[in-house]
Amino acid sequence: MSSPLRLGIAGLGTVGMGVVGIVQDHAALIAARAGRAVQIVAVSARDKTRDRGRDLSGYAFEADPVALARRSDIDVFVEVMGGHEGPARAATEAAIAAGHDVVTANKALLAHHGQALALAAEAAGRSIRFEAAVAGGIPVIKALTEGLAANRMRRVMGVMNGTCNYILTRMEATGQGYNVLFQECADLGYLEADPNLDVGGIDAGHKLSLLAAIAFGTEVSFDAVELEGIQNVSLDDIRLARDMGYRIKLLGVAQMTGRGLEQRMTPCLVPADSPLGQLQGGTNMVVLEGDQVGQIVLRGPGAGMGPTASAVMADVIDLARGVRLPVFGQPAATLTRPVAARTATPAPYYLRMMLLDKPGALAKIATCLGEAGVSIDQMRQYGHEGVNAPVLIVTHKATRDDIAHAMGLFGGTGVLVGDPVALRIEEV
Amino acid sequence: MSSPLRLGIAGLGTVGMGVVGIVQDHAALIAARAGRAVQIVAVSARDKTRDRGRDLSGYAFEADPVALARRSDIDVFVEVMGGHEGPARAATEAAIAAGHDVVTANKALLAHHGQALALAAEAAGRSIRFEAAVAGGIPVIKALTEGLAANRMRRVMGVMNGTCNYILTRMEATGQGYNVLFQECADLGYLEADPNLDVGGIDAGHKLSLLAAIAFGTEVSFDAVELEGIQNVSLDDIRLARDMGYRIKLLGVAQMTGRGLEQRMTPCLVPADSPLGQLQGGTNMVVLEGDQVGQIVLRGPGAGMGPTASAVMADVIDLARGVRLPVFGQPAATLTRPVAARTATPAPYYLRMMLLDKPGALAKIATCLGEAGVSIDQMRQYGHEGVNAPVLIVTHKATRDDIAHAMGLFGGTGVLVGDPVALRIEEV
């Protein structure tokens, strides 16, 4: 058996302590599987003295994560602090400069600096592994980078923010509005310090950008992800979509088209009886579509101590076994710079609007759609609420530009009350 | 870039030609990801001359797969012939003896000889990879061996024979009986040459035994898998189970208990709204439960040219990248010999029986259950058909022995018409 693999762990929060727990509790199991022991040599955290419920006295303590990253007695720097600048970035750079492999759960860091960090790591003959950064405990980075490596990927999709999916499924189940459930999540501690990372789709967008880089062999380009959060998803839309056989999800989609790479993280409709439509609560799901394999669906816990630490330790065990792959599945220097394409792949759209109770109102709307080249698949007019009638339309496949064109024309008809809503229906 | 990885492919059927197709069509993609080219050097098949729709003239042809396996100009022997004895076994042994790595889609071979082959390969410093042998295109071997390597596995479950799931879902959808749909599958070419491999649960049992070995660090013990096929699943049970909120699946379950390793591949009930319950048609699903990660569900195509070749090539790309792990996730010499435990984990059971339309009949059945220590969760008596009344009972958790005891007591009551049916309800 080879010499032990030595870890330095930066961050002793939930994830960090989960990693400590696995190393302590599963030492024999890991040694059997990895072919060598995995040891913790040193740790770093803001507060040394806090009781974290485990004996850390055998580990050297560094107040500064950069100092931890530079220690010559570690092999792998485990970064579970978070934050895409400041100490997390500085320490990761220092670890690479010191010749260490890095295992990180930090999606923000890689979404913003993944290409530069990967180039640096690979120039040093080291790797950065980040299974824990995307979809928590689901081994999706491994599935995509290795399990489906023989496929030209067609599309990658995912529900990858548990808080958003929790809010959306609770809205349907309880009939409570977004604001009430947002507050519930805040009270339960489900939200990031900056809640916009969750509900604005940013966190999930970070994850999508990492999957897209691997899937399509392109540099990470988070800035090109079209982001729309769930703040404006209404109870009405959740109910009416359900009525038409759909559910609303904050869904990420990345696909390579003739025009370039489309990446979006937006609320959209999926069939209620599809695996994505059936996904409830905080669970995550990733759908990987390859030209050979067809569709693979992975489902599991997207957050939490055990799942996230499981993913971190999978990367650690890979390194202990001597597996060291390029960060994004092929050398960073060979990744192409993607052309960012605005979403133009046609899809059916869900349209909701309130019409004045006037003769011919619906005909005017239908005329606008026809003028914009959008044809109607289904239409429902609901019982009148006072003088206004809610109307739902599901279109045949149309481009977003065509839909925007039609929505612009609606304005001139004088029959609309308030703003119409348009949501993409993703075919899954 | 390193020298090319050279393949010898034994078997040019659907899977073999799928592999040839990927190597030919995705050469640049694979070279970018693997860091080196992957080449086919030689092939073997029964019939050299048959037109297979691709140019094979650049490859040496061996009539004998053993001769192919012994060639010194290959690095990896790809076995996609099938069969657990004869040429497949001889050629695999020859490849290992010649110092080659092996990639195989042959679940039967490994279920019967996996331990001996793994010992031989590892003694030679080589590996046998078999992603394609279990659940087709789903990268489940990788997920279990690597992605969840930090977990003590609790339970592994799977619907892993597409033909059986196709028959069961078609029975529900069409109301046609087993025999009709069996014949349909035969006509469609969905069945193995020996159909009992499919409908008898053997093929799926092979797969389960391989997953169990990895999950629990035990030698493959296919002989200890409790096997029951779908031949006796009746339309009545499918309908009545559905009525109670369940679906019947040919489900494999492996779990380590205090008494030993339970492995079973049997028809059982799962909640209709669970991921397993919602699985339709030929799709496969594997559920992996670890102490850290919780539950991971993987879903995808379980057979077919593209999916199976995708899995074969994932293993090939791993080898091209220099990844060479122990066959079953830890050295074969360290796997323990499992104690085979008959299923004793308590579970709810579904019981169906026909009662004579006599006063007190139901009370007698209830008394038998009470005597056997089995308590009743739900009971339904259906409208009388002539003089007999079908009765459904869902029990609280009970052991199989308790259920068998109760069923024995039923016989003495004189109120039963025909044999009662008992099916386990697996909690998922």
Give the domain CATH number at B114: 3.40.50.720
**Within a domain: B378:** yes
* Cα A206 off chain centre by: 6
Please list every residue in chain B whose beta carbon sits closer than 8 Å to the beta carbon of residue A321. Answer: 325
A207 is catalytic: yes
The SS3 call for residue B29 is: helix
What pLDDT band is residue B385 in, cutting at 50, 70 and 90? low
ipTM value for the complex: 0.96
Query: A77 and A183: one domain?
Result: no
Please list every residue in chain A whose beta carbon sits closer than 8 Å to the beta carbon of residue B316. Answer: 150
In angstroms, rounded to a whole number, what is the distance separating the alpha carbons of residues A67 and A275?
46
Q: Do B146 and A152 touch (CB under 8 A)?
A: no
H/E segment holding residue B270: strand B260-271
Please list every residue in chain B whose beta carbon sits closer than 8 Å to the beta carbon of residue A317. Answer: 146, 149-150
Exposure string of A305-328, with b = 16+ CB inside 10 Å and e = fewer, is bbbbbbbbbbbbbbbbbebbbbbb
Write the residue in B18, B152, B298 that is nearest to A29 by C-beta.
Answer: B152
In angstroms, rounded to a whole number, what is the distance separating the alpha carbons of residues B66 and B425?
46
Query: A62 and A173: one domain?
Result: no
What pLDDT band is residue B268 in, cutting at 50, 70 and 90? very high
Please list every residue in chain B whose beta carbon sits closer than 8 Å to the beta carbon of residue A307. Answer: 292-294
**Within a domain: A344:** no
- Give percent of chain A with pLDDT exceeding 90: 89
pLDDT digits (tens, 9 = 90+) for A224-273: 999 999 999 999 999 999 999 999 999 999 999 999 999 999 999 999 99
Query: B146 and B275: one domain?
Result: yes
Query: A285 and A393: one domain?
Result: no
Please list every residue in chain A whose beta carbon sits closer than 8 Å to the beta carbon of residue B149. Answer: 30, 33-34, 313-314, 317
Please list every residue in chain A whose beta carbon sits closer than 8 Å to the beta carbon of residue B334. Answer: 32
Q: Do B146 and A137 touch (CB under 8 A)?
A: no
A274: nearest CA in chain B? B278
Query: Is B66's pLDDT higher than 80?
Result: yes
pLDDT digits (tens, 9 = 90+) for B112-158: 999 999 999 999 999 999 999 999 999 999 999 999 999 999 999 99
In angstroms, rounded to a whole number, what is the distance separating the alpha carbons of residues B328 and B209?
11
- Give percent of chain B with pLDDT exceeding 90: 89
**Within a domain: A94:** yes
The SS3 call for residue B327 is: coil
C-alpha distance from A274 to closest chain B C-alpha (Å): 9
Write the residue in A138, A299, A310 that is nearest to B150 by C-beta.
Answer: A310
In angstroms, rounded to a whole number, what is the distance separating the alpha carbons of residues B259 and B256?
8
Which of the listed residues B97, B117, B133 is the one where a domain comes to its end? B133
**Within a domain: A51:** yes
Write the residue in B278, B296, B318 that is nearest to A300 by C-beta.
Answer: B296
What pLDDT band is residue A385 in, cutting at 50, 70 and 90? low
pLDDT digits (tens, 9 = 90+) for A88-133: 999 999 999 999 999 999 999 999 999 999 999 999 999 999 999 9
Query: Is B316's pLDDT higher than 60?
Result: yes
Q: Which residue carries 């062999």 as its tokens?
A: A217
CATH number of the domain at B208, please. 3.30.360.10
Query: A119 and A146: one domain?
Result: no
Under 8 Å CB-to-CB from A7, ≥6 apart: which residues? Answer: A19, A23, A38, A39, A40, A41, A74, A75, A76, A77, A78, A316
Q: Is residue A263 a contact partner of residue A248, using CB atoms and an 8 Å limit? A: no
Write the residue in A152, A296, A334 that is nearest to B138 by C-beta.
Answer: A296
Q: Do B292 and A299 touch (CB under 8 A)?
A: no
What pLDDT band is residue B382 in, cutting at 50, 70 and 90? confident
Q: What is the four-CA torsion angle of A278, A283, A288, A294, rounded to 10 degrees?
A: -40
Query: A209 and A295: one domain?
Result: yes
Write the residue in A30, A142, A301 that is nearest to B293 by C-beta.
Answer: A301
Strands (E), B54-150: 60-62, 76-79, 101-104, 128-129
Q: Is residue B326 a contact partner of residue B249, using CB atoms and an 8 Å limit? A: no
**Within a domain: B336:** no
Query: Is A388's pLDDT higher than 80?
Result: no
Q: Do B275 and A143 touch (CB under 8 A)?
A: no
* Closest by Cα among A166, A150, A172, A137 to A286: A137
In angstroms, rounded to a whole number, what is the distance separating the alpha carbons of residues B237 and A99?
62
**Within a domain: A417:** yes
Query: B176 and B268: one domain?
Result: yes
Of B107, B142, B207, B249, the active-site residue reads: B207
Which of the listed residues B133, B153, B171 is the one where a domain comes to its end? B133
Q: Do A290 and B296 touch (CB under 8 A)?
A: no
Query: B156 and B282: one domain?
Result: yes
In angstroms, rounded to a whole number, what is the distance separating the alpha carbons of residues A310 and A132?
8
Q: Do B310 and A301 touch (CB under 8 A)?
A: no
Q: For all residues of chain A together, what is the average pLDDT?
A: 95
Query: A101 and A178: one domain?
Result: no
pLDDT digits (tens, 9 = 90+) for B239-248: 999 999 999 9
**Within a domain: B335:** no
CATH number of the domain at B408, please. 3.30.70.260
C-alpha distance from B270 to closest chain A C-alpha (Å): 16
pLDDT of residue A106: 97
Q: Do A142 and B138 touch (CB under 8 A)?
A: no
Q: Domains in chain B: how many in total?
A: 3
**Within a domain: A47:** yes
Angle at B424 between CA B145 and CA B339, to 5 degrees: 50
Domain that holds residue A391: 349-424
Query: B160 and B108: one domain?
Result: no
Which of the listed residues A94, A113, A133 is the one where a domain comes to its end? A133
Please list every residue in chain A whose beta carbon sits closer than 8 Å to the beta carbon of residue B318. Answer: 146
* Burial class of residue B346 in the structure, from the number of CB atoms within 10 Å of its CB (0-12 exposed, 13-18 middle, 19+ buried): middle
Of A107, A142, A207, A249, the active-site residue reads: A207
Query: B274 and B358: one domain?
Result: no
Mutate to test the interface with B, among A1, A14, A33 (most CBs of B within 10 A): A33
In angstroms, rounded to a whole number, what is the distance separating the alpha carbons of residues B338 and B224?
9
pLDDT digits (tens, 9 = 90+) for A306-338: 999 999 999 999 999 999 999 999 999 999 999
The sign of the dihedral angle between the CA atoms of B20, B22, B28, B32 is: negative
Query: A158 and A275: one domain?
Result: yes
